């Protein structure tokens, strides 16, 4: 529903400026399951390994912490993708994760949830943790907490 409004608005705006119609490069996947599936595809296609330490959640089963974890994943992915612009998979994952937070109200960081421990790890452990969180989110029936918003 919201996406339709947004699309209509975008068309109206581009029309009103009589600019040539542009296909946006942003992902047009409409739901969290499709975005999560794409993130997993990109993560498994990515075979780069990076040296250094990367933040990852200690316990990826803590769903109440997913808001905080997601924010942290995005900040790490932003760093990695800015330093490695040629890594198209990580760049896509970064964009998709950001998009996920715009459609998932459940992923908004809440006021200090309980114990959401984040630790430093290798890149491959970081990737595993990200994969595991994304698999959980993909399994959610809905990622909106606001009743009746869909």
Ligand X SMILES: *[C@@H]1O[C@H](CO)[C@@H](O)[C@H](O)[C@H]1NC(C)=O
Contact 58, 128 (CB under 8 A): no
The SS3 of residue 60 is coil
Sole binder of ligand X in the list 16, 18, 25, 47 (CB under 6 A): 47
**What's the CA angle centered on 34, arms 30 and 37, to 5 degrees?**
155
d(CA 54, CA 74): 12
State the minimum distance, in angstroms, from the CB of residue 47 to ligand X: 4
The residue behind tokens 């809905």 is 142
The reply to whether 29 sits near ligand X by the rule CB under 6 A is yes
Sites for ligand X among residues 63-122 (CB under 6 A)? 75-76, 79, 115, 117
d(CA 30, CA 52): 35
State the minimum distance, in angstroms, from the CB of residue 19 to ligand X: 27
Nearer to ligand X, 3 or 11 (CB): 3
Binding residues for ligand X, rule CB under 6 A, total 17
State the minimum distance, in angstroms, from the CB of residue 108 to ligand X: 19
Contact 43, 77 (CB under 8 A): no
The residue range among 9-17, 31-39, 88-96, 97-105 that interacts with ligand X, by the rule CB under 6 A, is: 31-39
d(CA 126, CA 36): 17
Sole binder of ligand X in the list 41, 62, 122, 125 (CB under 6 A): 62
- Chain residues in the site for ligand X (CB under 6 A): 29-31, 33-34, 47, 51, 55, 58-59, 61-62, 75-76, 79, 115, 117
């Amino acid at each position: 529903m919201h996406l339709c409004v947004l699309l209509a608005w975008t068309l109206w705006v581009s029309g009103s400026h009589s600019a040539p119609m542009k296909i946006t490069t942003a992902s047009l996947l409409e739901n969290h399951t499709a975005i999560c599936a794409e993130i997993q595809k990109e993560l498994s296609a990515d075979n780069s390994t990076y040296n250094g330490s990367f933040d990852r959640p200690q316990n990826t089963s803590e769903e109440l912490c997913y808001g905080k974890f997601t924010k942290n994943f995005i900040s790490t992915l932003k760093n990695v993708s800015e330093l490695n612009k040629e890594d198209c998979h990580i760049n896509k994952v970064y964009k998709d994760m950001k998009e996920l937070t715009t459609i998932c109200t459940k992923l908004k960081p809440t006021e200090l949830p309980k114990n959401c421990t984040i630790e430093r790890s290798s890149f491959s452990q970081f990737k595993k943790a990200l994969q595991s969180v994304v698999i959980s989110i993909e399994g959610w029936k809905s990622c909106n907490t606001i009743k009746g918003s869909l």
